[in-house]
């Protein structure tokens, strides 16, 4: 059982997950650098799958490298680039190397990337992919062909509490829960009222305690990333007053940090929330500060733990 699954299903501890940076050239060397920075802080780290529709080192290769480096990977699988056959192959391939956490996403459209001429696949959609993962966990491919033994899997999905239709988003959570998702990472949401309503909706639907809600927090150095997200990332709206607050501050970096901390504490106080997902724009300085301010103590990763993690099924 993965640490993430153990903590979420057997304890009431708050969990922290993060996003591994995409790898390109010099991948293994860079992976080591990222792993050193993240290790000891997180219960699971996303091995991303062509983020924002840009080609990178594959999700499966990244996840295997992370395991070798002592991090617990969460394998992202998106629907944009591969059909159901290739998705099943990736899940089984990662599972062969001991990956246990899986995250199903619909994925950004190809138009969000730098090869917009590419064919979009979307053979399955997000909820169908969650169900496919449940099928594999049960010991079958989609065709019904047996997988013996069935891989051990802990399945998650994503949702955006900040994009319309707001009232319908909770029903999507119910659908993903019914398909087998046990945790749900949320898209970053700069509207606290929307996150509050979303989490209250999950609670009112009787899903608190059944699916772990993990809101996302982004570490930023100033107002630029806020403007970038607001203008360039579909589904993220940053209110003008939140941007102005950082832009007009005497020390924008400090104000950006305080804003992030405030959003993190607010998110952790919502019903059904079991942890936080931390992403950043390679902002090295404030990760440790944020984790410490949130009461997290860094676990030391010994070589023994690394050996146990690497390739353990």
Partner 1 sequence: MTTFIATIEHVVKGPVWGCQDCGQCVLHSTGMTCPMNCPKTLRNGPCGGVRENGHCEVNPEMKCVWLKAYDRTQGWPLPLAWKEEYNHLRPPVDNRLKGTSSWKNFFTKRDRWTPAGWKNTTDESIEVGHN
Task: Give the binding site for partner 1 (CB under 8 A).
Answer: 79-80, 84, 106, 108-109, 111-112, 120, 122-128, 131-132, 134-135, 138, 140-145, 158-160, 163-168, 170-175, 177-180, 187, 197-198, 200-201, 204-207, 234-235, 237
Q: How far is the CB of 234 from partner 1 (least distance, A)?
A: 4
Handedness of CA 97, 99, 103, 107 (dihedral sign): negative
Q: Which is nearer to partner 1, 112 or 249 (CB)?
A: 112
Burial class (CB in 10 A: 0-12, 13-18, 19+), 240: exposed
Instruction: Tell me how far apart the alpha carbons of residues 61 and 59 are, in angstroms, rounded to a whole number.
Output: 6
Q: Which is nearer to partner 1, 142 or 305 (CB)?
A: 142
Q: How far is the CB of 59 from partner 1 (least distance, A)?
A: 18
Q: How far is the CB of 210 from partner 1 (least distance, A)?
A: 10
Q: How far is the CB of 147 from partner 1 (least distance, A)?
A: 10
Q: Which is nearer to partner 1, 131 or 309 (CB)?
A: 131
**3-state SS, residue 26:** strand
Burial class (CB in 10 A: 0-12, 13-18, 19+), 220: buried
**3-state SS, residue 142:** coil
**Of the candidates 125, 193, 182, the residue with the CA atom closest to the CA atom of residue 156:** 182
Q: How far is the CB of 301 from partner 1 (least distance, A)?
A: 33
Give 122's contacts (C-beta < 8 A, 6+ positions apart).
79, 80, 106, 107
Q: Which is nearer to partner 1, 34 or 198 (CB)?
A: 198
Q: Which is nearer to partner 1, 138 or 248 (CB)?
A: 138
Instruction: Tell me how far apart the alpha carbons of residues 230 and 219 are, in angstroms, rounded to a whole number.
Output: 15
Instruction: Tell me how far apart the alpha carbons of residues 305 and 298 are, in angstroms, rounded to a whole number.
Output: 15
Instruction: Tell me how far apart the alpha carbons of residues 233 and 310 are, in angstroms, rounded to a whole number.
Output: 35
Q: Which is nearer to partner 1, 196 or 255 (CB)?
A: 196
Q: How far is the CB of 97 from partner 1 (least distance, A)?
A: 23
Q: Which is nearer to partner 1, 33 or 146 (CB)?
A: 146
Beta carbons of 30 and 21 less than 8 angstroms apart: yes
Q: How far is the CB of 302 from partner 1 (least distance, A)?
A: 38
Instruction: Tell me how far apart the alpha carbons of residues 203 and 209 are, in angstroms, rounded to a whole number.
Output: 9
């Amino acid at each position: 059982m993965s640490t993430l699954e153990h903590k979420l299903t057997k304890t009431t501890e708050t969990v922290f997950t993060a996003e591994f940076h995409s790898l390109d050239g010099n991948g293994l060397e860079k992976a080591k650098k990222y792993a050193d920075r993240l290790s000891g802080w997180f219960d699971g780290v996303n091995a991303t799958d062509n983020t924002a529709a840009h080609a990178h080192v594959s999700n499966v290769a990244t996840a295997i490298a992370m395991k070798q480096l002592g991090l617990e990977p969460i394998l992202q699988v998106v629907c944009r680039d591969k059909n159901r056959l290739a998705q099943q192959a990736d899940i089984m391939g990662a599972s062969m190397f001991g990956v246990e956490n899986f995250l199903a996403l619909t994925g950004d459209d190809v138009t969000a990337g730098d090869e917009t001429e590419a064919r979009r696949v979307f053979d399955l959609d997000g909820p169908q992919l969650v169900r496919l993962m449940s099928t594999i966990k049960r010991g079958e491919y989609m065709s019904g062909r047996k997988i013996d033994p069935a891989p051990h899997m802990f399945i998650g999905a994503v949702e955006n509490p900040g994009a319309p239709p707001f009232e319908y988003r909770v029903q999507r959570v119910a659908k993903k829960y019914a398909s087998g998702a046990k945790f749900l990472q949320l898209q970053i949401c700069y509207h606290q009222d929307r996150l509050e309503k979303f989490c209250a909706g999950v609670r009112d639907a009787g899903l608190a305690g059944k699916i772990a809600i993990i809101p996302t927090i982004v570490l930023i150095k100033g107002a630029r990333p806020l403007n970038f997200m607001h203008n360039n990332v579909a589904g993220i709206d940053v209110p003008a007053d939140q941007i102005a607050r950082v832009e007009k501050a005497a020390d924008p970096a400090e104000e950006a940090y305080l804003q992030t901390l405030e959003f993190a504490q607010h998110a952790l106080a919502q019903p059904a929330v079991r942890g936080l997902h931390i992403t950043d724009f390679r902002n090295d300085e404030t990760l440790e500060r944020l984790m410490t301010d949130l009461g997290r103590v860094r676990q030391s990763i010994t070589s023994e733990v690394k050996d146990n993690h690497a390739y353990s099924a």
